[in-house]
Amino acid sequence: MDKELIFLHHSIYPNASDIFDVDIKPLEEIIDDCIFVVDTNVLLLPYTTTSSGFEEIKKAFSKLIKKDQLIIPAQVAREFAKNRPEKIKNLYQQLNITKSKIQKPATGQYPLLESLDDYKEAVLFEKEIQKIQAKYAKKIDQILDQIKQWRWNDPVSSVYKELFKPQVIKELGLKQDEIIKELERRNKYNIPPGFNDKSKDDFGVGDLIIWLTILEVAKETKKDVVFISGDEKNDWLYRSENQSLYPRFELITEFKNSTGQKTFHVIKLSQLLNILGAKEEVVKEVEIKEINVQSHGYDFQSFGKLAENLVYNWLQESEPAKEILIIERGLTDFIIKDSEKTEGIDVMVIRDVRSLTIRLQERYLRAYHEIHEGGLNCFRIIIIVQNKESVGDVLKYLNRHAERYRNEFIQMLVGFITESSELEIFE
């Protein structure tokens, strides 16, 4: 019999009378004298924003640092160091995709048309376009070369070097054995935060260390804390209808019991920028990026481009003897040719498995049309989802509706992109 499990709520809520006496001060009341603690996803977000967006973020951080209101947990700094290369790799890959999709116009050789003025003019335009495309491709190569030279001096890292001095970084004052013991207890009984990540290699210790750092900061400074994070997992926040509501009551209670009744809030970076008077268009831009990033480690547009690039590389490796063409428009992303057949490839990226039914039916019908009307012999629809768990959901859906999608000329594959930006495909 597990005594702690039986009396779990006694340990989470040690003072039952406090449950009805929780006093959470409004954000507006504490904003000028609280401590803002920054999460890893917030430090990584500027890799996806415009330069004007990043400038506003820099101003916000600078303002808080001058008022001694900003703290970066050491765990966040370490996670930033781990994830930063992936952001730069994604940027490099996106530019490479852009370059690979440059296709030269070709009016062709038609001696019969050479006497026509319109044909002559079209050929001249073609040559001009090819010159511009060559300059464009060269410029992209120069940008790629600059990215290759980045070590720890990319634009974002350079600003952080200027801003985040040692006094801003907070190391947790607990020994590793103490942290592991607490991690095991919380994961065993699903005590927030971090239990959502207990299947990861580090068993979700990152979130726990950040939380323990927040508690330590509040106790040392005797101030309220606002956690700036784009993470909306349900081991931090209550959620409904795909919307985050407010921090879990377990966290509110633990924070108050540990800090002498101080207040704890969680807000997004876009909310902070709005509070600090950033430009409305920047706030909106960051808000959109937060929504996209929440669905993966990438913003969704970047994720789609990355998926196409990885599928292209996978096709080159798996079918090296065939010619692979990149198609700019329409359903087909790639065409694979050999002497025997011409096959179309559609990379279908989805962020929510619930949208699969309608979108897959549409893609299937269009693939059927491409085979019968577009001159293709067969077609592959490669469905890319954002995590391995979703792969299982898609495969179950396809097995459940096998009769609906049974066609010897149309094949369905499912894949996901790992945290190290590698593609795994399941048939």
Tokens 């063409």 map to which residue? 325
Report which secondary-structure segment, H or E, holds 185.
Answer: helix 176-189
> Is the pLDDT assigned to residue 366 strictly greater than 80?
yes
Q: How many residues are given for the chain?
A: 427
The pLDDT tens digits of the residues spanning 99-144 come to 777 777 766 677 788 788 888 888 888 888 889 988 998 999 999 9
The pLDDT tens digits of the residues spanning 171-192 come to 998 899 998 998 888 888 888 8
Alpha-carbon torsion (402, 405, 408, 412), positive or negative: negative
Q: What is the mean pLDDT of residues 87-94?
A: 82
Cα separation, 83 vs 292, whole angstroms? 17
Cα separation, 244 vs 231, whole angstroms? 10
> Is the pLDDT assigned to residue 240 strictly greater than 60?
yes
| pTM, full prediction | 0.68
- pLDDT value for 139: 92
Enumerate residues 6+ apart whose C-beta is below 8 A from 212.
172, 174, 179, 182
- pLDDT value for 420: 62
- pLDDT value for 352: 73
Cα separation, 22 vs 264, whole angstroms? 12
Instruction: Determine what percent of the chain falls in helix, strand and coil, rounding each to the nearest 5.
Output: 55, 15, 30
Enumerate residues 6+ apart whose C-beta is below 8 A from 130.
104, 105
Q: What is the mean pLDDT of residues 402-415?
A: 88
> Is the pLDDT assigned to residue 10 strictly greater than 80?
no
- pLDDT value for 67: 94
Of these ranges, 23-37, 62-76, 235-249, 362-376, the one predicted with the greatest mean pLDDT is: 62-76
Q: What is the mean pLDDT of residues 325-341?
A: 83
Enumerate residues 6+ apart whose C-beta is below 8 A from 413.
380, 381, 382, 383, 425, 426, 427
- pLDDT value for 369: 87
Q: Domains in the chain and their CATH numbers?
A: 3-87+154-294 (no CATH), 94-149 (no CATH), 300-426 (3.40.1350)
- Averaged pLDDT of the chain: 85
Residue 259, amino acid: T
Cα separation, 128 vs 279, whole angstroms? 41
> Is the pLDDT assigned to residue 415 strictly greater than 80?
yes
- Phi first, then psi: give them for residue 384, nearest 5 degrees: -110, 120
- pLDDT value for 242: 53
- pLDDT value for 293: 61
> Is the pLDDT assigned to residue 265 strictly greater than 90?
yes
Q: At what angle do helices 356-373 and 388-400 cross, to 10 degrees?
A: 70
Residue 356, amino acid: L
% of residues, the chain, pLDDT over 90? 32
**In the structure encoding, which two tokens stand for residue 325, read together?**
């063409």
Count of alpha carbons within 13 angstroms of residue 357, beta-carbon side: 3
- pLDDT value for 346: 93
- pLDDT value for 44: 93
Enumerate residues 6+ apart whose C-beta is below 8 A from 369.
none
Alpha-carbon torsion (306, 385, 209, 220), positive or negative: positive
- pLDDT value for 64: 95
Cα separation, 365 vs 367, whole angstroms? 5
Alpha-carbon torsion (46, 238, 394, 421), positive or negative: positive
**Lowest-pLDDT choice from 183-192, 253-262, 297-306, 400-409:** 297-306
**Lowest-pLDDT choice from 5-9, 53-57, 75-79, 217-221:** 5-9
Query: Which residue has better confidence, 6 or 65?
Result: 65
Query: Which residue has better confidence, 346 or 301?
Result: 346
Cα separation, 290 vs 387, whole angstroms? 18
Cα separation, 217 vs 384, whole angstroms? 41
- Phi first, then psi: give them for residue 222, nearest 5 degrees: 60, 40
The pLDDT tens digits of the residues spanning 290-323 come to 766 665 445 556 677 778 888 888 898 888 888 8
Identify the CA nearest to 74 among candidates 265, 209, 231, 256.
209
**In the structure encoding, which two tokens stand for residue 383, read together?**
């469905």
| pLDDT class of 155 with cuts at 50, 70, 90 | very high
- pLDDT value for 229: 92
> Is the pLDDT assigned to residue 4 strictly greater than 80?
no
**In the structure encoding, which two tokens stand for residue 246, read together?**
């407010």
Residue 351 is classified by DSSP as: S
The pLDDT tens digits of the residues spanning 36-57 come to 999 999 999 998 888 889 999 9
Residue 343: strand pairing partners: 336, 378
